[in-house]
Amino acid sequence: MQCEIIAVGSELLLGQLVDTNSTWISKQLAAAGIESYFQTRVDDHLDRIAQVLRTALSRSDAVIVCGGLGPTQDDISREAIAQIMAVPLLPDPVIAARIQELFRSRGRRMPENNLRQAEVPQGATVMPQMPGTAPGLICPLQGKVIYAVPGVPWEMRKMVAGTVIPDLRCRAGTPMTIKSRTLKTWGASESRVAELLSDRVNELAAKGNPKLAFQASGIEGIKVRVTAMGAEEVAVDRLLREEESHLRGILGDLVFAADDETMESIIIELLREKGFSLGVAESLTGGMVGARLTAVPGASDVFRGAVVAYASDIKYALLGVPEGPVVSESTAKAMAQGVRKVLQADIGLATTGVAGPSGQEGQPIGRVYLGLAISGKSEAHQLYLPGERQQIRQFSVISLLNILRKQLLNMV
Amino acid sequence: MQCEIIAVGSELLLGQLVDTNSTWISKQLAAAGIESYFQTRVDDHLDRIAQVLRTALSRSDAVIVCGGLGPTQDDISREAIAQIMAVPLLPDPVIAARIQELFRSRGRRMPENNLRQAEVPQGATVMPQMPGTAPGLICPLQGKVIYAVPGVPWEMRKMVAGTVIPDLRCRAGTPMTIKSRTLKTWGASESRVAELLSDRVNELAAKGNPKLAFQASGIEGIKVRVTAMGAEEVAVDRLLREEESHLRGILGDLVFAADDETMESIIIELLREKGFSLGVAESLTGGMVGARLTAVPGASDVFRGAVVAYASDIKYALLGVPEGPVVSESTAKAMAQGVRKVLQADIGLATTGVAGPSGQEGQPIGRVYLGLAISGKSEAHQLYLPGERQQIRQFSVISLLNILRKQLLNMV
């Protein structure tokens, strides 16, 4: 089973948008064991879309067309697919009703244009997932298949994960199971992680299964991915479990999460487990720590809130920081203690530092102090972070959360 | 002159790397007025690279092959090009000497492998830029041309800017300039924006230049892109300027920004212009409003800070919200007024609502109240947002900022 991806959109060809959709889809195909050797991008032009579809169908068993399913005149993937299938586009009353209902539920009038999205090539099936107004299509064609999904990432992802991949696996008919497990680490460089695991990498290379791969992921840390395959799902799961426990033995508390877990979901879990509540005082991060923690459903059980004390006088007045330079160890500590009290939390965290565009109080861009306060005790960590404004802010957030994580792990 | 791009590398097809090279190159082509309608990605496989090269040459005048010029055995773009040209690869002694010199100057031994990089298809020319060990190649072929450049971004960029683009412009013989301008809108659906502009789209379609295109960009709103072309840069700039002013006339205050401007950069600019300071009270957004505003360099001139009152009792105690249900119009107003006072800001903003995973106080997931307080006056807006937790939160943020933007625009 070979499947290729076609991304449709003039903005891709003009360099105005990076094609991350194809990257995401190809990762899913690889994980599902489906071969994929070609990707194409083409502009919003009927003949050219049809032309690349023909080329793709001549060499692959399945084609995923991403984009061009919107309501406007330049959304013509539906037309191109109908042309290739040599069938008419027919209005689907069920889809039309769903689109109308979607607008009604939001209290908005539906423009006539949107009914174009309810047109389906004769013989095509509509995917069950429909998070937006664009239906996904399964279009059979001489023993092969074209999947059409919208270019809006979160809509596309639901359809690819929910329909396209299962359908492809079913068509492939091979009972091979490929699964992977990703361990996320923070606190060591990629080469250090590779060094720690080099013996294990060699052992596994000799065995052939499972396989290890490293990936540096910026503010998501260094990831170690274990991929195992086999005929029996139970055996594959066991291989993964055993390898994970082996790797965790070597990497210790560098590993902060696995797969869909994030630093923030782990923090919320640990806080809940230990029965602590948390408050945060943010300066250079401006709300990012709170934003990340509250991305976790159920964060309200343990997260009390945050004070974004961007102006210095708010640090003094609201958090009780003694007046003076604010980019300092003592300010980080005082902010963490202050926010604990103001928000009546068991634990207080704090960030203060220089994100740029210019230095501050004689401190260089990238100088950051992170504070942690638990009951009467407080500590501060000094960092010097590379990069630009947004990167310094993001690294500050995850570094702070990692300090809290290690603290919580060490508490009974 | 039509030119297309082929990116070579198995890591692209496995989803391990996002293809930002093609995006960058296509932007250069567009700026130089060279048409580009197709992009392909293919894995490190000789026959498949040759196959996509043949397809590309059948429909375009020029092809840029990016990647596969390294020293290892899986770097085979040179071989594929020689196969297509039906010529042998010949060692180039000048290039070999340059590679050896590069290693010597860095005090490193040159692995034998690297001499593979000095092999050039007979009849090809080497590009003058050679920042690494991979030479760029110009390969003429029956009146058409293949350019081969390495996949390392900074090496590739020097060659494309220094050789490929000038060579293409010279071959095209027309000094055509293409430029575009993107207007970002918030507050109307894609189809509504298309409806408002449908007459203009038809007028421009008849004229042919400039062109309009729409793009739905989730929390960045609906974008309208104007693309103009012409022989004279001055005339192209004038066309863009005139069309922008025409479109702004139709779309009015739906347009919140253009090109690299963002909702938050516009807000910071407007606040500075009008001389107002801002404080934010966040509940369901948990710090996201502050995080977005402080992403703008210089935000500290106008942004005082935020209180993330996630727990209800913090809303009561710190922001002075009367005790009672917190997902309500009156709470949104009281939070906005409260944060204005606590942070001593001219303007207060507030978010409260239900992001999920479950309903709250009998209100459904997606119910959001946004508050705005200026001096003694306050107002609240009720929204019902679709989607999941993170989407509801993100839409709340940009909707709130848009309310503030429109308010500021209406103030003298």
Query: How is residue A259 annotated by DSSP?
Result: T
Find, in chain B, the residue whose alpha carbon is nearest to that of A32.
Answer: B14
Find, in chain B, the residue whose alpha carbon is nearest to that of A131.
Answer: B387
Side chain identity at residue A105, one-letter code: S
The pLDDT of residue A175:
59
CB pair distance less than 8 Å for A310 and B318 = no
Interface test with B, best of A21, A24, A41, A160 (most B CBs within 10 A): A41
The pLDDT of residue B174:
66
CA–CA dist A74, B151 (Å, integer): 32
Q: Which two tokens stand for residue A79?
A: 């037309």
Query: What sign does the dihedral A55-A57-A63-A67 (CA atoms) show?
Result: positive
The pLDDT of residue A174:
66
The pLDDT of residue B175:
63
CB pair distance less than 8 Å for B26 and A14 = yes
Is a pLDDT exceeding 90 seen at residue A184? Answer: yes
Is a pLDDT exceeding 80 seen at residue A11? Answer: yes
CA distance A390 to chain B (A): 7
The pLDDT of residue B315:
97
Interface test with A, best of B215, B220, B276 (most A CBs within 10 A): B215
Q: Give residue for tokens 């060659």.
A: B159
CA distance B251 to chain A (A): 16
CB pair distance less than 8 Å for B342 and A389 = no
Determine the 3-state secondary structure of A225 from DSSP: strand
CA–CA dist B331, B380 (Å, integer): 9
| ipTM computed for the complex | 0.76
Find, in chain B, the residue whose alpha carbon is nearest to that of A10.
Answer: B37
Report the residue from B13, B306, B389 with minimal CB separation from A297: B389
CA distance A148 to chain B (A): 17
Residues of A in contact with B39 (CB under 8 A): 12-13, 40-42
The pLDDT of residue B271:
98
CB pair distance less than 8 Å for A306 and B304 = no
Residues of A in contact with B327 (CB under 8 A): none
User: Which residue numbers in chain B have pLDDT < 70?
Assistant: 174-175
The pLDDT of residue A217:
72
Any A CB within 8 A of B235 CB: no
Q: CA-CA distances (angstroms) from residue A250 to A73, A114, B22, B90? A: 57, 55, 39, 49
CB pair distance less than 8 Å for B357 and A20 = no
Is a pLDDT exceeding 90 seen at residue A161? Answer: yes
CB A285 within 8 A of CB A394: no
Neighbours of B203 (CB within 10 A): 12
A259-263, A398-402, B330-334, B337-341: which range is least confident on average?
Answer: A259-263
CA–CA dist A198, A224 (Å, integer): 12
Any B CB within 8 A of A286 CB: yes
Q: What angle do CA A136, A142, A145 make, to 5 degrees?
A: 25
CB pair distance less than 8 Å for B38 and A37 = no
Considering only residues B212 and A347, tell me which one the structure prediction assigns the higher pLDDT. A347
Q: Which two tokens stand for residue A188?
A: 């060591």
